[in-house]
């Protein structure tokens, strides 16, 4: 797989180094290099770009601002991001705009290649899913983005899912530590089969097979009690009625 990519950095030496690294990497194809985010947007609107190596601190339009302009794009039209910066205090911001990786300047080719390999692995996974038309449920697992890596989670091991403000916690069997991933509860719900999972509260999705008992206003999974929200009661009662 070849990834079409661009490099964006207002420092000429840094931009030249990134372009040199791209040209050394067989699975990357350099489609343009830009000293400003505004100039890069023109190419992003005209060409299909898979990957952007993007500096964060730039005049006129910062790397983070450019990243946010891409949020509305979906599917293959949204390029993935690898941030490059001389400052280590932007890691969380990069995570929030769904960057694949974060390279702290000065970085060498080995570090660059490791980040590029993440982008290739991500693209191959997306391509495979598109070609087979498979769903997470059919495959039996899904990938969750945890910091700057994709973590494979077996769907059968999911007990319940809790939505927070900017994150989702996925609670699994055989471990006390939930998987924390930057996504929305709605987005994750769409990847799961309604035959197996049900949203019972605006902040909770449960795997139906894990429910051990039910009260008037809550579902219980072992000692854990999760309230059933008013707007979800009708659907949950409909599910229960099949077994009563």
For position 106, what pLDDT does the model report?
92
pTM: predicted TM-score of the whole model, two decimal places: 0.60
Q: Do 1 and 28 form a contact (C-beta atoms < 8 A)?
A: no
Mean pLDDT of 214-230: 93
Q: Which residue has the higher pLDDT, 46 or 111?
A: 111
CA distance 26 to 24: 6
Q: Would you say 34 and 43 are in contact if contact means Cβ atoms under 8 Å apart?
A: yes
pLDDT exceeds cutoff 50 at 131: no
Report cis status (omega within 30 of 0) of the bond before 106: yes
In 3D, which of 74, 71, 105 has the Cα closest to residue 88? 105
Pairing relation of β-strands 3-8 and 28-34?
parallel
Distance of CA 8 to the CA centre of its chain: 22
Q: Which of 128, 167, 161 minimizes the C-alpha distance to 146?
A: 167
Question: What is the predicted pLDDT for the residue at 128?
Answer: 59
Q: By 3-state DSSP, what share of the chain in percent is helix, strand and coil, each rounded to 5?
A: 40, 30, 30
- pLDDT-based confidence at 45, cuts 50/70/90? confident
Residue 37 has pLDDT above 60, yes or no: yes
Inform me whether the pLDDT recorded for 74 exceeds 60.
no
Return the higher-pLDDT residue of 97 and 141.
Answer: 141
Mean pLDDT, residues 105-120 taken together: 93
What DSSP designation does 226 have?
A: E
Pairing of strands 197-201, 204-207: antiparallel
∠ CA(60), CA(33), CA(11), 5° rounding? Answer: 55
For residue 228, give the DSSP letter.
P
Condensed to tens digits (0 to 9), the pLDDT of residues 133-181 reads 455 555 688 888 887 677 888 999 999 999 987 789 999 998 989 999 8
Mean pLDDT to the nearest integer, 25-33: 96
pLDDT over 90 at 227, yes or no: yes
Instruction: Classify burial at 167, counting beta carbons within 10 Å of its beta carbon; exposed 0-12, middle 13-18, buried 19 or more.
Output: middle
Q: Where are the beta strands (DSSP E) in 63-196?
A: 80-85, 101-104, 141-146, 149-154, 158-163, 168-172, 179-181
Determine what percent of the chain is predicted with pLDDT higher than 90: 45
- As a whole number, mean pLDDT of residues 3-12 equals 96
Q: How confident is the model at residue 222 (pLDDT cuts 50, 70, 90)?
A: very high
Question: What pLDDT does residue 77 have?
Answer: 63
Q: In terms of C-beta density within 10 A (0-12 exposed, 13-18 middle, 19 or more buried), how is residue 119 classed?
A: buried
Q: Does the pLDDT value for residue 10 go beyond 80?
A: yes
Is the pLDDT at 120 greater than 80? The verdict is yes
231 vs 123, which has greater pLDDT?
231
Q: Give which of 117, 115, 196, 135 is closest to 160, Cα–Cα.
A: 196
Check the CA dihedral 183-185-190-194 and report its sign: positive
């Amino acid at each position: 797989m070849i990834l079409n990519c661009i490099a964006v950095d207002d420092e000429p030496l840094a931009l030249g180094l990134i372009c040199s690294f791209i040209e050394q990497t067989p699975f990357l194809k350099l489609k343009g290099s830009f000293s400003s985010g505004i100039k890069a947007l023109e190419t992003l609107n005209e060409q299909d770009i898979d990957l952007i190596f993007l500096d964060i601190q730039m005049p006129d339009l910062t790397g983070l601002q450019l990243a946010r302009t891409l949020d509305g794009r979906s599917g293959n039209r949204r390029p993935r991001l690898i941030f490059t910066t001389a400052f280590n205090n932007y890691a969380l911001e990069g995570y929030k705009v769904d960057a694949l990786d974060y390279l702290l300047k000065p970085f060498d080719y080995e570090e660059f290649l490791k980040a590029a390999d993440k982008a290739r692995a991500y693209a191959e996974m997306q391509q495979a899913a598109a070609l087979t038309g498979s769903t997470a449920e059919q495959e039996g697992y899904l990938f969750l983005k945890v910091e700057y890596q994709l973590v494979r989670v077996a769907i059968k091991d999911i007990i319940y899912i809790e939505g927070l403000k900017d994150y989702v916690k996925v609670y699994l069997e055989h471990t006390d530590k939930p998987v924390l991933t930057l996504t929305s509860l709605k987005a994750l719900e769409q990847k799961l089969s309604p035959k197996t999972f049900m949203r019972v509260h605006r902040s909770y999705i449960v795997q139906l097979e894990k429910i051990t008992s039910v009260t008037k206003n809550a579902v219980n999974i072992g000692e854990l009690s999760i309230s059933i929200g008013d707007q979800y009661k009708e659907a949950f009662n409909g599910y229960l009625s099949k077994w009563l």
